[in-house]
Every structure is written in structure tokens, then in C-alpha cells.
Amino acid sequence: MTYPRPAGALRRRSAQAYANVGLETKVLSANPQQLISLLFQGALAAIAKARLHMQNGDIAGRGTAISKAIDIVDSGLKASVDTEVGGEVAENLVATYELINRHLLLANLNADEKSLETAEIMLKNISEAWQEVTTRAEATPPAA
């Protein structure tokens, strides 16, 4: 039995549903370090979408994408920092996340691609450092 190919909006919804299942599977099977990596990926993807919307003059789309990035940075990345255990380094990381969110807000308020780029660069730098640290931790055998 064959099924007709879904058309237009139905095809997009089907593809989105499939992507959501894939993301849900990744989240459910991820360890805490991988979850942080997924948050970085999500925030950077939202920034990329915001850039496209900004270039196309889509104010609502830009606002939605930037709001998503801010939410991921604030409620995901910043909220996961343990300042009691991490001390000054953790406090600096929280301050950096707040600065990223400030740049994102300015990018949205002023349709400022430079602020968006600054936030993206800062987030990429932290993401790359996170990847390096977690890769090293996974490669290092546990102490006996």
C-alpha cells in the first residue's frame, strides 16, 4: 500500500513532528554534559534564525527567534551554573550569560546585526570551551 505525499503545510508539519521526536530522543538519552551541549546548539540555531529574519525584514520572526535564544541562555544555560560550587569562575560565567542576553535584547530592539553577531561569537566561544572540557573529561580515566 502506498500513501500520497503530504502537500505544503502538511509536509512541513510532518517534518517538524519528525524533528521534534529526534530532539526529544536526544534529550531523553543525554547525560548532563550533553544536555548543556544541546542548549548551546539550540541557542545558536535560534540566533541563526534571528539573523535570517533580520535580513528579510521579518520583525515578528526576529523577535520570536531572539526571545527563544534569550530563554535558552537564561533558563537553560545560566540556570544550570552552580555558583556555590563554581565560585568566581561560575559567577563570571553567569555575568557573561547576562551580557549575551543584553546583546540579544539590543539586537532585537535596534535590529542591530552587530549586537546579534557579538552574542553569537560569545556563545560560540563558551560552547567550544565546553566541548573541549567535556571531551577531555570523557577521555580521562576516573581516579581509583
What pLDDT is stored for residue 86 in this prediction?
Answer: 93
**Domain residue extents for the chain:** 36-133
What pLDDT is stored for residue 101 in this prediction?
Answer: 98
Q: Is pTM, for the whole model, over 0.85?
A: no
Q: Which residues contact 142 (CB under 8 A, 6 or more apart)?
A: none
d(CA 66, CA 44): 10
Residue in this structure with the C-alpha cell 556555590, named with its chain if needed = 84
What pLDDT is stored for residue 72 in this prediction?
Answer: 98
Half-sphere exposure of 114 (CA within 13 A, CB side): 1
What pLDDT is stored for residue 1 in this prediction?
Answer: 54
pLDDT in tens, the chain (144 residues): 555 565 666 666 655 554 554 556 565 556 888 899 999 999 999 999 999 999 999 999 999 999 999 999 999 999 999 999 999 999 999 999 999 999 999 999 999 999 999 999 999 999 999 999 888 887 877 665
CATH number for region 36-133: 1.20.120.340
Q: Name the residue among 47, 50, 26 with its Cα closest to residue 38.
A: 26
